Amino acid sequence: MAETEKQLGEFGFAGDDHVVPFEVSTLDARGRIVQLGPILDTILARHDYPEPVARLLAEAMALTVLLGTSLKFDGKFILQTRSDGPVDMLVADFATPQSLRAYARFDEEKLAEAVEAGKASPGELLGTGVLALTIDQGAWMQRYQGIVQLDSTSLEDAARTYFRQSEQIPTEVRLSVARQMVRGEDGSLLEGWRAGGLLAQFLPDSSERLRLPDLPGGDGDEGDAPDPTDDAWAEVQALVGTVEADELLDPTVGAERLLYRLFHEHGVRVFDGTPVADDCSCSREKIRSILDGFSADEIEESTQDGVIHVSCEFCSKDYTFDPSEFVADE
């Protein structure tokens, strides 16, 4: 990524579906901000998820692109939940340089009950379980996985916990999702999904300042401020705390203008944005290699009306195979 030293106002806004890195060096803070628009509609429309599930998955996608675009080498960032709530699995992954895909698994009955009972917040939809964040940078780099316990926990809180426990970096995360009226290319008004995400981290050059009381090996209590004596980080937290949920995803505000509102007194540098694209890495060859590992019985069980149909869980693309391709060696 080319670093530029443009000041706000000197260049155009990145617009939707671009992750914009920024730095506030006077506060030793760095981060990324994103507003997702069309990409959400494209991905969510394929699955026709009920609204609360779509909202939760949109939040997971915003978090995934904020975290995934930090990869410094080619690789993949995977966010996955496994939990006992109405939405028992969420998967969102980001592959460098820009590919995003995601899907959710949910129980229709449990979901209807949760909505009926007014218990359908994102945290409640997940319930109790785990969030796993995995960085996979290929065969030559060690795969890294951080696990966070979920207990009706929002993805925002889970992400903060992840950074405190696994990375030991004081981090603020804000996520916001809404269904809004947006103007289509022909000028007509359409209802569309929007998400906004902001990640800010305290990354001072001096390791002394990064060594904060609760880290490492601290008790990791929820809500502990990293260090009440560090005014710079306290200022970042206070400013990020002023961001309104609708401001975070408002296209008329935009990512850069929001950064300007928050940090202009401290001097904020904004770098070139990274576009994110709806792009699934599934292929006929990958699915064939899975089927190659099936036993003759499993192939028979998978065959309906003389063919094997496989639908990609991420992008819903259908693949059809002739079972005779997979006759096991007897």
The residues that touch Zn ion, with contacts defined as CB under 5 A, are 280, 282, 312, 314-315, 317
Helices and strands of the chain, counted as H and E runs: 11, 15
> 120 vs 312, which CB is nearer to Zn ion?
312
> 92 vs 312, which CB is nearer to Zn ion?
312
Please, what is the minimum distance in Å from the beta carbon of residue 150 to Zn ion? 26
C-alpha neighbours within 13 Å on the C-beta side of residue 162: 25
Angle subtended by helix axes 51-68 and 38-47, to nearest 10: 130
Please, what is the minimum distance in Å from the beta carbon of residue 288 to Zn ion? 14
> 143 vs 284, which CB is nearer to Zn ion?
284
* Burial class of residue 271 in the structure, from the number of CB atoms within 10 Å of its CB (0-12 exposed, 13-18 middle, 19+ buried): middle
Please, what is the minimum distance in Å from the beta carbon of residue 43 to Zn ion? 11
> 20 vs 312, which CB is nearer to Zn ion?
312
Task: Return the sign of the alpha-carbon dihedral for residues 286, 287, 290, 295.
Answer: negative
DSSP state of 72: S
Please, what is the minimum distance in Å from the beta carbon of residue 316 to Zn ion? 7
Given a contact cutoff of 8 angstroms between Cβ atoms, the answer to whether 168 and 186 are in contact is no
> 14 vs 315, which CB is nearer to Zn ion?
315
Please, what is the minimum distance in Å from the beta carbon of residue 39 to Zn ion? 15
Ranges assigned E (strand) in 124-250: 128-136, 144-151, 171-183, 189-202
